[in-house]
A = this chain, B = another copy of it.
């Protein structure tokens, strides 16, 4: 019956979402308890509901806020420098993306999505439209530009999408989920560069056509 806490700071929602990220990551969506989220945000259980209508709404807002950061960045990179140097553009995108994905906070949303999307059609659809589709568009455009310049092989962009997204995904999992002391992680910068090298190497035209 009492009401102890001070007035609503404007960044309450932010704080709640931050707390939610942690709890979702630690327990998964279904096992995450609203009370735990509230406690970490420094407020009461009920107060969470002043800002978000349900646990599901919390998750959706979480995804909404983080989604597309990388896709947006990729589009920016392409718009800015793809015409000048497609290969370097890809390298920059990869550096940006790998670095982002290795940051606990930034990779949190994709990881949660991977976990929840299979049985949450709304989340899946939202992520597909906001992230996958836009990222795919950026990549497709980049490939086309590079191919037109003769810098890239003429590969199906869907393959490229899988070969670019994939290593980042794998890195996220190996760093955050399946890490083991005896399997040391490459450091992020090196990882980004080497993945970029690998992919670019796979993308450049072979001088003499294979057999």
Q: Which residues of A approach B to under 8 Å, CB–CB?
A: 25-31, 111, 114-119, 124, 127-128, 132-133, 136, 153, 155-156, 158-163, 165-171, 173-174, 176-178, 180, 183, 185-186, 191, 194-195, 198-204, 206-208
Contact = CB atoms under 8 A, between A and B. Distances in A.
A117 B115 CA distance: 9
B159 A170 contact: no
B114 A114 contact: yes
A114 B177 contact: yes
A176 B128 CA distance: 12
Contact of A173 (B169, B178, B206): B169
> Across chains A and B, which 8 residue pairs bring their CB atoms closest together, nearest first?
A166-B166, A30-B30, A202-B202, A166-B170, A166-B167, A115-B115, A201-B202, A162-B170
Taken together, the copies of this chain in the complex come to 4
23 contacts: A28-B30, A28-B116, A28-B119, A29-B30, A31-B119, A114-B115, A114-B177, A118-B177, A132-B178, A132-B183, A136-B183, A153-B201, A155-B194, A159-B191, A161-B170, A162-B171, A162-B191, A163-B166, A165-B166, A166-B166, A199-B202, A200-B202, A201-B201
Nearest to A171: B162
Nearest to A200: B202
Contacts of A167: 159, 162-163, 166-167
